A and B are shown apart, each in its own frame.
Chain A
Amino acid sequence: MGSLLSQFGLECGEKEVKEEERHLRANDRELNLSYKYADNAIKTSKYNIFTFLPLNLFEQFQRLANAYFLFLLCLQLIPEVSSLSWYTTVVPLVLVLSMTMAKDGSDDMNRHICDKQVNNRKVEVLIDGELKRERWMDVQVGDIIKLENNQFVTADLLLLSSSEPLNLVYIETAELDGETNLKVKQALTVTGKLEDSEEKLASFNGEVRCEPPNNRLDKFTGTLTLKGETYSLDNERILLRGCTLRNTQWCFGLVVFGGPDTKLMQNCGRTTFKRTSIDRLMNVLVLNIFGFLAIMCLILAIGNGIWEYQDGSKFAAFLPKGVNAPFSAFLTFWSYIIILNTVVPISLYVSVEIIRLGNSFYIDWDRKMYYPKSDTPAEARTTTLNEELGQIKYIFSDKTGTLTQNIMTFNKCSINGKSYGELLDFSGQRVEINEKTEKVDFSWNNLADPKFCFHDHSLVEVVREGNPEVQAFFRLLALCHTVMPEEKKEGELYYQAQSPDEGALVTAARNFGFVFRSRTPESITVMEMEELVTYELLAVLDFNNVRKRMSVIVRSPEGKITLYCKGADTIIFERLNPSCSNLMEVTTEHLNEYAGEGLRTLALAYKDIDPEYMADWKLRHHEANTAMDEREEKLDALYEEIEKGLLLLGSTAVEDKLQDGVPQTIEQLSKADIKIWVLTGDKQETAENIGYSCNMLREEMNEVFIVSANTAEEVRKELQTARRKMTPDGTEEPTVKKSRSGLFCLIKMETVVDEPVNGEYAMVINGHSLAFALEKDMEMELLRTACMCQTVICCRVTPLQKAQVVELVKKYKQAVTLAIGDGANDVSMIKAAHIGVGISGQEGMQAVLSSDYSFAQFRYLQRLLLVHGRWSYLRMCKFLRYFFYKNFTFTFVHFWYGFFCGFSAQTVYDEWFITLYNLVYTALPVLSLSLFDQDVNDRWSFQYPQLYAPGQLNQFFSKRAFVYTVLHSGYSSLVLFFIPWAAMHDTVRDDGKDIVDYQSFALLAQTCLLIAVNIQLGLDTHYWTAMNQFFLWGSLSVYFAVIFTMYSNGMFLIFTSSFPFIGTARNSLNQPNVWLTMLLTSILCVLPVVAYRFLRILLWPTINDKVRYKERQNKVLPPAPRRVQARRTSTRRSGYAFSHAQGYGDLVTSGKFLRRTPKSRTSLFSQTDSPLVQTQPQYYNTISEQEEPPLSP
């Protein structure tokens, strides 16, 4: 019915009829074309050659400032109103428009190129029974196309058949949803039979009816009708454009949606532009300025009315007027709107953009944020947020890959009561291990991983001597895991581990001579001290969160059955044979030591099993495994039964390597009064562990609250208890400051006031509790408690919760937030925060692609904020203050002159001066101020992170600062108008000619103004580079050069009416009293400011003043930031951590992934197009990075 309707509609030529159902038949282009579905060409560009000019202009005039200027231009065309020549508005407007147009044009050009490239990609299409290579854009709905491994999916396809068993295909959806783990799609059995036979495929004539194009990525409904049978289709059968085919040799698909109809494209175009708080403030200010402008014009218009009534009408003998006083006042109002427009300068927006762009380039150029190891420079991907970097109050950080390198290294172990891995010198002192320390030579083992390093030689000696415990220890590590091996060439082993911890342990065993080589569902082959041994795998007792351990039961070639178990020490110790108690004590000591160093520990144990018991157990295991109900419980009980009476082997200590300089960075940032919250998908133990090792959680903290309740009420209780502990005498209700902001004050804001806390507290909250705490009725409680803590760690949170937490703080704290992360699961929070930072240079570019800034190492964050951010903020504020100052001063002089020209909207300056003032005379000096200025250099910025505080408090540019600027301008304009007036009104030149003619006075007023604002700029400049000097003096010289040129005889003779000021410069700049007046106005404008600033520095010095003073006092640079390796002696006792939640033992034993011989497989779960896997064998490609708990309701 639907298709009929749409068919009908289309036949009538009504393209507007909404598609209600899609209908198509495979291999039937004629029918499919008749529906006029979009083909597979995409178009993201906005313009073409013809539409560019009109469309772009239309868009630009939608901006307030541009529209305002257009309005002014229209006003100027009315002769009665026009108080300024047309060029005063046209020149700046054209300049601004053409600059923006050039930028938009080049952007669109890039999109054109990009579109073209995508549209011209080739894919094999089945046409007339033959596979032909076609361009993507020529693919039509209903075509059958063939995809090969690692190819991008061309359009939204219905999967027909694939090379893999069961018609499975593996796809990576990173471009769509950011998840890097592979997903499985399966074709219908009926279509799977088509396989790769071209004849069968060509004769396939299935009809598909499905939903119209939409943007739901996770849903698809439709039916396939084939030979009279109807099969239902769901999302499982659909390959979406934007995905990549992985680990599948080929597959065939039927195009269902093409080009703009694909779900990928339907999801595009919703990028929200981030605006900085300064932007918003500026908009509010501009609106207020409009009001202010209207008031000024109104006053002047009323003045004009009165003047017309009292004087003008009587003056009619000399100046006849055809209009009455009220109408004249009305016209004057508009005339003054034109003249005083400089209070809303169009060049402001352009300058702001230029400054931000410049400051973004500094970030790109910074060598101190360049990471040589991966050759990644920092990148400012958004160029409009710079000053916000100087105002960050909250940082939300991911853990894995951001704070840590996501590299686990096997650092230490304790075997049979002896600890290995420490280096001691002769006196028994610990030796600091650094890059120069001699590494253990593993060359005797030709299967060793060359990247593995270990420093304690004794362990190798022991293992080579054949110490049975040590050998058992490594045998356990080589057997008890769920790692997948991959041997591309003989002896070149790659491990695919589910968690990096596991990979590190197996690699350690490999290097110490117990090389895990291959596995089948029933066996594990290990090279034990260069001897190939195959163990029969009897059972895998998988890891999970409750068990906190995993075991394998294997039968050795000799027939001995052994259970190997590794897990959390507390869990293992409960299950040990009592005979191990002595060893347990020693091992516990070692574990404490490891935990104190922030290492992640596991205890290892084994147990020999009686074959008869095993046979019985195996039988019961099988029963339980096939049980219909309570399967989990039954299995757990069985596991519990066999994992008893274990014999302790020892323990391992794996270091979750922090990135370089993380603790120092965090310390610096917290000194700058930035609060850091860690939001991680990891487990609580892991997160806490990292919290301690990067100094966010400290022993000396008063208390670390742990919120991990299971019901809403309990969570509320825990939060309240924590809060009451922190502020025993605090109020129950949060102090909320209500205010309004935004344009017309329409946005209601509620700000929760920070509450004072004695002592240092921290909070760890898990995802489950967070789900309750983020509910509407409890979010305030969460926010209050969390904000009182120095450190907040949220673990096991979903990407959505990450974003919710960020939104919560944004909403109630009105503070600037920054989110930093590296993975796809951080994308949501990166987008939610004011500023998103992505860690680049690793696999998975999702975070980077959606971020505003990216760099390779977490530690660069301090440079980004404390140096670049602070400077950008400082520069932007200085710029805005100065810019408003110079324009207001400029404009107010006109206002005062109104009282002396009969409120007739006579400009006080030459019209050319008005045109060029913002564009030429003052543009470059203020730009150089806002591109080069620094109060103190970067070293001092690091030395005193407190310098960051003014930005957080919005101290440098706020409404208050703006009002001061306006008052300052008012004073300056009074000086700049009335001093020349008083000095000139009753005097004459030194040759007796009159001096107060309009043109001379205009020249005097404008020169005074220009000198005064330039000196003011000089006062504001703290950092005088050659450029600043050049631009400042250059601008003044240009001014004098320009006036002498424009007031020259030649210019007048050529453009008589445009340059009526002929001779003015020559005739008045030779007068001593003119120069004396300029000197007096400049001094009067500047000296009060100097005196005020001098006294302020003495009486109420800010932190900036103090540091500047200090810098001046000792010219030497501050000491380079020290890098102390924190070695904590801790009494904390929980080193256990494991980064994955649920093993995939099932998969290992089911053999689902091992059906095909490894040789024909290109790579298991690895992206072959990424060289990183090859070069970093220690970097484990995790199959699912962290299993996220289910989304919160």
Chain B
Amino acid sequence: MMKEELETANRPDNTAFTQQRLPAWQPMLSAGIVIPGFVLIGLAFIGIGVALFIASQNITVLERDYTGVETVSDCYKCSNPSVKNCTCKLDFSLSNLFEGPVFFYYGLSNYFQSQRAYGASKDEYQLSGDLDYFKTPNSACSPYQYDANNNPIVPCGSLANSMFNDTFKLYQMVNGTKKLVPFDGKGIAWWTDYNIKYRNPSVTPLKNAFNGTVKPPFWSKPAYELDTSDPSNNGFVNQDFLVWMRRAALPDFRKLYRRITEGDYASGLPAGNYSLEIAYNYPVLSFGGRKKVVFSNVSWMGGKNQFLGIAYLVVGSLCVVMSMVMLIVYAKFKFPEDDK
């Protein structure tokens, strides 16, 4: 008995794993799965596509370029960078009710927020209110790290420095008088940005935290004066600042400026003539950029985007067509039952 045990001492274990006999599901691309699968996916996609397409169709978008390239444009006069404090007007009319809530965006083209050096040019610690970094900003911010007098720039970096600074006022022309459309600038940034990622230093008044620092050169006022009326919208947690700092992935982008949700305009912009008053500050022509404003409402699938709906419809139809092709091929070439 002992001997027998000894003799089989090296016998490998008989388990499903060591003997490669693990139970397994072995699917095959058989006609019974593939063809109905294609049909089902195709039909589902067509369904989704229709829904998306309709949703997209129901969204109204109004886009106006106000760079002022054309001489007829009112903003042409402002497009010269030497002109300061220029204000121009953009008129448009709505023939139908622009259903609300309406979102008002500014858009920039050929603007490379996605540039690596641009995106990296900021100081996370500084922006989260760490006072140490007020004195010595991250070197990635260079050349907007220190000014000529070696004072630290707060907020430092190209990204903050280049913050969009055109401002807009929308008027509805009612019987020849301008009626201001109220803008809602609250909650246009992400909750996490507003509450976690960006924080003002816990110094009151906020201004004191910025002692010994200078504002970014491009800014007209320091960070602690971005919104003097509302401390919860001031400094690094200013909504416009937050929106700007969430940099765009693509060179043509738009960013939310205001929502129109209040007063007479809660249900949308009624038909009529409107005038948008633009404080034209932001130079884009130098690098061939464009500025635009966008009015849009949204649906369950977000803003207007025809592509997704059409893509679903096309892919869905292709699936159905493909399933037909496969069915024909299958009928012609299927394995004979007794093929070797």
* Residues 981-1010 of chain A, each 1 if its beta carbon lies under 8 Å from chain B, else 0: 111111111111111111111100000000
Which of B24, B248, B259, B329 sits near A998, CB closer than 8 Å? B248
Which of A362, A902, A1052, A1094 sits near B112, CB closer than 8 Å? A902
Instruction: Report if A315 contacts B (CB, 8 A).
Output: yes
Evaluate whether A1024 and B246 lie within 8 angstroms (CB atoms) in the complex, with A372-B7, A900-B251, A1098-B333 already known: no
Q: Cβ of A370 and Cβ of B115 under 8 Å apart?
A: no
Q: Cβ of A985 and Cβ of B252 under 8 Å apart?
A: yes
CA distance A314 to B111 in the complex (A): 11
Task: List the A side residues contacting B115 at CB < 8 Å.
Answer: 312, 315, 319, 901-902, 904, 906
CA distance A1091 to B41 in the complex (A): 13
**Closest CB in chain B relative to A571 CB, distance in Å:** 45
* Residues 216-259 of chain B, each 1 if its beta carbon lies under 8 Å from chain A, else 0: 00100000000000000000000000010011111111111001
Q: Cβ of B256 and Cβ of A994 under 8 Å apart?
A: yes
Task: List the B side residues contacting A1109 at CB < 8 Å.
Answer: 28, 335
Which of A1000, A1063, A1090 sits near B191, CB closer than 8 Å? A1063
Instruction: Report if B204 contacts A (CB, 8 A).
Output: no
A899 closest partner in B (C-beta): B251
Instruction: Report if A742 contacts B (CB, 8 A).
Output: no
Q: Cβ of A994 and Cβ of B253 under 8 Å apart?
A: yes
Q: Cβ of B286 and Cβ of A319 under 8 Å apart?
A: no
Chain B stretch 83-126: residues in CB contact (< 8 A) with chain A: 101, 103, 105, 110-119, 121, 124-125
Which of B8, B130, B243, B311 sits near A372, CB closer than 8 Å? B8
Q: Cβ of B103 and Cβ of A992 under 8 Å apart?
A: yes
Interface size on B, residues (CB 8 A): 104
Which of B158, B196, B298 sits near A1049, CB closer than 8 Å? B196
CA distance A1095 to B334 in the complex (A): 10
Q: Cβ of A319 and Cβ of B11 under 8 Å apart?
A: no
Q: Cβ of B246 and Cβ of A905 under 8 Å apart?
A: no
Q: Cβ of B335 and Cβ of A1101 under 8 Å apart?
A: yes
Q: Cβ of B250 and Cβ of A1108 under 8 Å apart?
A: no
Q: Cβ of A986 and Cβ of B303 under 8 Å apart?
A: yes
Instruction: Report if B308 contacts A (CB, 8 A).
Output: yes
**Closest CB in chain A relative to B290 CB, distance in Å:** 13
CA distance A937 to B20 in the complex (A): 9
Task: List the A side residues contacting B76 at CB < 8 Å.
Answer: none
A1088 closest partner in B (C-beta): B322
Task: List the A side residues contacting B20 at CB < 8 Å.
Answer: 362, 871, 932, 934, 938
Q: Cβ of B330 and Cβ of A1098 under 8 Å apart?
A: yes
CB contacts between A and B, total, < 8 Å? 285
Q: Cβ of A1062 and Cβ of B298 under 8 Å apart?
A: no
Chain A stretch 313-358: residues in CB contact (< 8 A) with chain B: 314-315, 317-322, 335
Q: Cβ of A317 and Cβ of B286 under 8 Å apart?
A: yes
Q: Cβ of A365 and Cβ of B19 under 8 Å apart?
A: yes
Instruction: Report if A979 contacts B (CB, 8 A).
Output: yes
In this complex, which of A996, A1049, A1067 has the most chain B Cβ atoms within 10 angstroms of its Cβ?
A: A996
A995 closest partner in B (C-beta): B302
Instruction: Report if A1106 contacts B (CB, 8 A).
Output: yes
Interface size on A, residues (CB 8 A): 99
Evaluate whether A1076 and B301 lie within 8 angstroms (CB atoms) in the complex, with A320-B143, A1099-B333 already known: yes
Instruction: Report if A74 contacts B (CB, 8 A).
Output: no
CA distance A318 to B286 in the complex (A): 11
Q: Cβ of A904 and Cβ of B117 under 8 Å apart?
A: yes
**Closest CB in chain A relative to B9 CB, distance in Å:** 6
**Closest CB in chain B relative to A967 CB, distance in Å:** 20
**Closest CB in chain A relative to B35 CB, distance in Å:** 8
CA distance A1067 to B298 in the complex (A): 17
CA distance A443 to B330 in the complex (A): 73
Q: Cβ of B301 and Cβ of A901 under 8 Å apart?
A: no
**Closest CB in chain B relative to A1143 CB, distance in Å:** 38
**Closest CB in chain B relative to A334 CB, distance in Å:** 13
Evaluate whether A1076 and B48 lie within 8 angstroms (CB atoms) in the complex, with A320-B158, A377-B11, A901-B112 already known: yes
Task: List the B side residues contacting A983 at CB < 8 Å.
Answer: 305, 307-308, 311
Task: List the B side residues contacting A1084 at CB < 8 Å.
Answer: 315
Chain B stretch 1-33: residues in CB contact (< 8 A) with chain A: 6-14, 18-31
Task: List the A side residues contacting B162 at CB < 8 Å.
Answer: 317-319
**Closest CB in chain B relative to A269 CB, distance in Å:** 31
Q: Cβ of A997 and Cβ of B247 under 8 Å apart?
A: yes
Instruction: Report if B304 contacts A (CB, 8 A).
Output: yes
CA distance A1113 to B300 in the complex (A): 48
* Residues 1021-1041 of chain A, each 1 if its beta carbon lies under 8 Å from chain B, else 0: 011111110000000000000
CA distance A318 to B288 in the complex (A): 13
B59 closest partner in A (C-beta): A987
Chain B stretch 298-340: residues in CB contact (< 8 A) with chain A: 298-305, 307-308, 311-312, 315, 319, 322, 326, 329-330, 333-335, 337, 339-340
Task: List the B side residues contacting A901 at CB < 8 Å.
Answer: 112, 114-116, 251
**Closest CB in chain A relative to B311 CB, distance in Å:** 6
Q: Cβ of B307 and Cβ of A999 under 8 Å apart?
A: no
Which of A370, A871, A1072 sits near B10, CB closer than 8 Å? A370
Which of B24, B25, B246, B287 sits near A317, CB closer than 8 Å? B287
Instruction: Report if A194 contacts B (CB, 8 A).
Output: no
Task: List the A side residues contacting B308 at CB < 8 Å.
Answer: 982-983, 1073, 1076-1077, 1080
**Closest CB in chain B relative to A408 CB, distance in Å:** 25
Q: Cβ of A1022 and Cβ of B45 under 8 Å apart?
A: no
Evaluate whether A1073 and B12 lie within 8 angstroms (CB atoms) in the complex, with A992-B101, A1108-B28 already known: no
A1028 closest partner in B (C-beta): B24
Instruction: Report if A366 contacts B (CB, 8 A).
Output: yes
Task: List the A side residues contacting B135 at CB < 8 Å.
Answer: none
CA distance A38 to B340 in the complex (A): 69
Binds B, one of A51-59, A200-208, A1053-1061: A1053-1061
A933 closest partner in B (C-beta): B24
Instruction: Report if A1192 contacts B (CB, 8 A).
Output: no
CA distance A312 to B117 in the complex (A): 11
Task: List the B side residues contacting A937 at CB < 8 Å.
Answer: 21
CA distance A1000 to B339 in the complex (A): 53
* Residues 165-201 of chain B, each 1 if its beta carbon lies under 8 Å from chain A, else 0: 0000000000000000000000011111100110000
**Closest CB in chain A relative to B64 CB, distance in Å:** 15
CA distance A314 to B289 in the complex (A): 10
B45 closest partner in A (C-beta): A1083
Task: List the B side residues contacting A1060 at CB < 8 Å.
Answer: 124, 197
Instruction: Report if B152 contacts A (CB, 8 A).
Output: no
Q: Cβ of B28 and Cβ of A991 under 8 Å apart?
A: no
Instruction: Report if A467 contacts B (CB, 8 A).
Output: no
Q: Cβ of A1073 and Cβ of B143 under 8 Å apart?
A: no
**Closest CB in chain A relative to B40 CB, distance in Å:** 12
Instruction: Report if B161 contacts A (CB, 8 A).
Output: yes
Instruction: Report if B128 contacts A (CB, 8 A).
Output: yes
Q: Cβ of B19 and Cβ of A900 under 8 Å apart?
A: no
CA distance A393 to B191 in the complex (A): 66
Instruction: Report if A469 contacts B (CB, 8 A).
Output: no
Q: Cβ of A366 and Cβ of B12 under 8 Å apart?
A: yes
**Closest CB in chain B relative to A555 CB, distance in Å:** 48
Instruction: Report if A7 contacts B (CB, 8 A).
Output: no
- Closest 10 pairs (CB-CB, A-B): A1063-B192, A1001-B249, A988-B303, A365-B18, A314-B287, A318-B162, A901-B114, A992-B103, A987-B305, A906-B116
For this complex, 21 residue pairs linking A to B, each with C-beta atoms less than 8 Å apart, are: A311-B110, A335-B116, A362-B18, A367-B18, A368-B19, A370-B12, A375-B9, A376-B10, A904-B116, A905-B116, A983-B308, A990-B298, A992-B303, A997-B247, A1052-B197, A1066-B192, A1067-B192, A1080-B308, A1087-B315, A1106-B339, A1112-B30
Interface residues of A (CB under 8 A from B): 79, 83, 311-312, 314-315, 317-322, 335, 362, 364-368, 370, 372, 375-377, 871, 900-902, 904-906, 932, 934, 937-938, 979, 981-1002, 1022-1028, 1049, 1052-1053, 1056-1057, 1060, 1062-1063, 1066-1067, 1071-1073, 1076-1077, 1080, 1083-1084, 1087, 1090-1091, 1093-1095, 1097-1099, 1101, 1106, 1108-1109, 1111-1113
**5 more CB-based (< 8 A) A-B contacts, given A315-B112, A992-B259:** A367-B11, A370-B10, A984-B305, A988-B105, A988-B303
